[in-house]
């Protein structure tokens, strides 16, 4: 049975003319409308500092974004025009906030809406504290009788444990945790969510999912893309902040968590937090940092990180990191988890490899060599989506010669079209479902684990663009390299 439509209200996009709003949020809202999954009376208010913009120019910007995302205005209906509004925030002085509050009240009165407000802060991290305080001080964090007020914030959630704690404190000074939706867009990906279904919908795996049966686990997020035009942001972040502390920590928690009591926000987020709490401090010998040098990607020459526009020549920022993580709990004691991510690698591939323990005795030998390989499960998150379970089968004609063969499932072949992460996440915000959003405790635990790596003395290992990272990092990986790289 189809889920009921979320009730209508106002979606207020701070950073309403910015990159995220144009590339993702406005098209996602329009697509939800086109698919009949958002209430047609929902209205969007773009908020930005530019006083020159007005309703007409905002509607024009939205039209271009929506059409640029491959949707026509015929499909997007009022989300291409009549349902869109614009409110300038000027310099964010108290009177600007009061004007915003008055505008929201007027729109609700004019369109007969109960105050159900979603404030989406699509803003740089530095701008978050002032915006959260601005909302709170203007009385905009309050929840009206019969309505709600929700706040959506984007990663990065701080730059280290201290700043993350400060951000949590600012948020909690004005909003309560049930109002806060912290977005990590990886949780909106269908294949990431499918991890829960894979683990908890298929009882055969749950009984194998522990230190008795699993030898090691690798989570790899490899990108072909370089830093592009984002050097200003990236050079201050690096792979640790950009990918490990957020996306990798989230996927690791889903892979390693205990079975939640129910599939709800409270249970799932509690179990994910427990995984992060159980991670042992990571020592310098268990991490390798790398940085790409010039090389070739798909036959095209690309510059090294230090030659990218905007990267300071003295930069010591990592574009690759690989590490071994230990989870000190009953289920995982002794099982290494390898985390790896890098830019400008030879192939884009986000994969989870679960290597099972080998048979205790080798009964299949050929020419003095054991022909048994370890069973391997590869969960493919992107760009190809699905999974392969590798098993040994006997080659015809020989009693002891075995070959490793995958049993495979391809998401794209079986299901036509999967929703974009932002569509899923926006809809969940409107429904008030926090399962796929990050709790404050997860943020802080993740910084507790990965924050100290930022301070570590680092040997930077160069790797040519188009390779698979520095040779020194090969030890932090399961042995099935070609499969993990998507080759
Ligand atoms: C973002 C990072 O959060 O995730 C980017 O800031 C990275 O640097 C991106 O490229 C990867 O996301 P996806 O969905 O393309 O795997």
223 lines ligand 1 (CB under 6 A): yes
Count of CB atoms within 10 A of residue 299's CB?
6
Q: Which of 183, 329, 324 is nearest to 256 (CA)?
A: 329
* b/e 164-177 (16+ beta carbons within 10 angstroms → b): beebbebbeebbee
CA distance 387 to 407: 8
223 Cβ contact partners less than 8 Å away, ≥ 6 residues apart: 341, 342, 343, 344, 345, 348
Q: Which atom of ligand 1 sits closest to the CA of residue 221?
A: 16
CA distance 357 to 211: 9
So what's the pLDDT on residue 106?
97
Q: Which atom of ligand 1 sits closest to the CA of residue 237?
A: 6
Residue 193 tokens read as: 């969510």
Q: Which of 27, 424, 486 is nearest to 191 (CA)?
A: 424
- Torsion, CA 46, CA 51, CA 57, CA 63, rounded to 10: -30
Count of CB atoms within 10 A of residue 198's CB?
19
Cα 245 to averaged position of ligand 1 atoms, centre (Å): 13
Partners of 199 in beta bridges: none
Partners of 408 in beta bridges: 388
Cα 363 to averaged position of ligand 1 atoms, centre (Å): 45
166 Cβ contact partners less than 8 Å away, ≥ 6 residues apart: 129, 158
Q: What pTM does this model have?
A: 0.95
Cα 247 to averaged position of ligand 1 atoms, centre (Å): 8
Residue among 122, 159, 182, 186 whose CB has most ligand 1 atoms within 8 A, to mutate: 186
- Residue in the block written with tokens 């979606």: 11
Ligand 1: which residue has its CA nearest to atom 4? 243
Q: Which atom of ligand 1 sits closest to the CA of residue 247?
A: 3
**DSSP 8-class letter at 9:** -
Secondary structure (3-state) at 117: strand
* b/e 255-293 (16+ beta carbons within 10 angstroms → b): bbbeebeeeebebbbbbbbbbbebbeebeeebbbbbbbb
**DSSP 8-class letter at 373:** -
CA distance 292 to 465: 5
- Which secondary structure element, helix H or strand E, spans residue 300, and what is its range? strand 300-302
Q: Which of 430, 431, 449 is nearest to 441 (CA)?
A: 449
Cα 421 to averaged position of ligand 1 atoms, centre (Å): 12
CA distance 233 to 223: 17
Residue 94 phi, psi (nearest 5):
-50, -40
Q: Which residues are catalytic?
A: 247
So what's the pLDDT on residue 1?
53
Q: Which atom of ligand 1 sits closest to the CA of residue 382?
A: 16
Residue among 247, 418, 438 whose CB has most ligand 1 atoms within 8 A, to mutate: 247
Cα 330 to averaged position of ligand 1 atoms, centre (Å): 33
81 Cβ contact partners less than 8 Å away, ≥ 6 residues apart: 59, 62, 63, 73
Q: Which atom of ligand 1 sits closest to the CA of residue 184?
A: 3
Residue among 225, 242, 383, 422 whose CB has most ligand 1 atoms within 8 A, to mutate: 242
CA distance 321 to 311: 18
Cα 43 to averaged position of ligand 1 atoms, centre (Å): 29
Residue among 192, 231, 243 whose CB has most ligand 1 atoms within 8 A, to mutate: 243
Dihedral sign for Cα 13, 112, 84, 435, please: positive
Cα 464 to averaged position of ligand 1 atoms, centre (Å): 21
Ligand 1: which residue has its CA nearest to atom 12? 186
Q: Are 338 and 214 in contact (CB under 8 A)?
A: no
445 lines ligand 1 (CB under 6 A): no
CA distance 487 to 485: 5
Which tens digits make up the pLDDT trace of 166-185?
999 999 999 999 999 999 99
Residue 472 tokens read as: 């020194």
Q: Are 44 and 1 in contact (CB under 8 A)?
A: no
154 lines ligand 1 (CB under 6 A): no
Residues across the chain: 487
187 Cβ contact partners less than 8 Å away, ≥ 6 residues apart: 193, 250, 421, 425, 436, 437, 438
242 lines ligand 1 (CB under 6 A): yes
Cα 61 to averaged position of ligand 1 atoms, centre (Å): 24
So what's the pLDDT on residue 300?
95
Per-residue pLDDT of the chain (487 residues), as tens digits, is: 567 899 999 999 999 999 999 999 999 999 999 999 999 999 999 999 887 778 899 999 999 999 999 999 999 999 999 999 999 998 899 999 999 999 999 999 999 999 999 999 999 888 999 999 999 999 999 999 999 999 999 988 999 999 999 999 999 999 999 999 999 999 999 889 999 999 999 999 989 999 999 999 999 999 999 998 899 999 999 999 999 999 999 999 999 999 999 999 999 999 999 999 999 999 999 999 999 999 999 999 999 999 999 999 999 999 999 999 999 999 999 999 999 999 999 999 999 999 999 998 999 988 888 888 999 999 999 998 999 999 999 999 988 899 999 999 998 899 887 888 999 999 999 999 999 999 999 999 999 999 999 999 999 999 999 999 999 999 999 999 999 998 8
Which tens digits make up the pLDDT trace of 388-431?
999 999 999 988 899 999 999 998 899 887 888 999 999 999 99
């Amino acid at each position: 049975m189809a889920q009921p439509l979320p009730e209508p209200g106002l979606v207020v996009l701070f950073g309403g003319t910015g990159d995220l709003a144009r590339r993702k949020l406005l098209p996602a809202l329009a697509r939800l409308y086109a698919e009949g999954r958002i209430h047609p009376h929902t209205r969007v208010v773009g908020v930005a500092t530019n006083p020159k913009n007005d309703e007409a120019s905002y509607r024009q910007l939205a039209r271009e974004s929506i059409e640029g995302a491959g949707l026509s205005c015929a499909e997007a209906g009022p989300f291409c025009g009549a349902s869109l509004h614009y409110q300038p925030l000027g310099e964010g002085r108290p009177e600007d906030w009061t004007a915003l509050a008055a505008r929201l009240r007027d729109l609700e009165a004019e369109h007969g809406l109960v105050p159900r407000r979603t404030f989406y802060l699509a803003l740089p991290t530095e701008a978050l504290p002032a915006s959260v305080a601005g909302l709170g001080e203007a009385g905009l964090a309050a929840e009206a009788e019969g309505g709600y007020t929700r706040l959506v914030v984007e990663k990065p959630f701080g730059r280290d444990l201290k700043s993350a704690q400060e951000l949590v404190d600012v948020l909690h000074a004005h909003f309560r945790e049930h109002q806060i939706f912290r977005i990590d867009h990886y949780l909106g990906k269908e294949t990431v969510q499918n991890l829960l279904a894979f683990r908890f919908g298929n009882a055969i795996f749950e009984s194998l999912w522990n230190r008795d049966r699993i030898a090691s686990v690798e989570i790899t997020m490899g990108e072909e893309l370089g830093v592009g035009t984002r050097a200003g942001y990236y050079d201050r972040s690096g792979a640790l902040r950009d990918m490990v502390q957020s996306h990798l920590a989230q996927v690791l928690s889903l892979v390693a968590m205990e079975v939640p009591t129910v599939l709800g926000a409270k249970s799932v987020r509690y179990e994910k937090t427990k995984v992060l709490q159980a991670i042992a401090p990571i020592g310098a010998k268990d991490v390798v940092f790398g940085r790409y040098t010039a090389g070739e990607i798909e036959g095209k020459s690309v510059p090294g990180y230090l030659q990218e526009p905007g990267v300071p020549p003295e930069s010591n920022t990592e574009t690759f990191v690989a590490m071994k993580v230990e989870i000190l709990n009953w289920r995982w004691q002794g099982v290494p988890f390898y985390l790896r991510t890098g830019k400008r690698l030879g192939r884009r591939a986000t994969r989870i490899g679960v290597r099972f323990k080998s048979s205790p005795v080798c009964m299949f030998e050929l020419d003095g060599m054991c022909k048994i390989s370890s069973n391997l499960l590869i969960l493919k998150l992107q760009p190809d989506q699905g999974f392969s379970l590798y098993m040994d089968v006997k080659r015809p004609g020989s009693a002891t010669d075995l070959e490793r063969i995958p049993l495979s499932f391809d998401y794209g072949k079986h299901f036509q079209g999967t929703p974009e992460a932002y569509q899923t996440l926006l809809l969940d915000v409107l429904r008030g479902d926090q399962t796929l959003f990050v709790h404050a405790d997860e943020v802080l635990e993740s910084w507790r684990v990965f924050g100290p790596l930022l301070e570590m003395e680092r040997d930077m290992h160069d790797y040519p663009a188009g390779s698979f990272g520095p040779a020194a990092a090969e030890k932090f990986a399961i042995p099935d390299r070609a499969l993990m790289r998507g080759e």
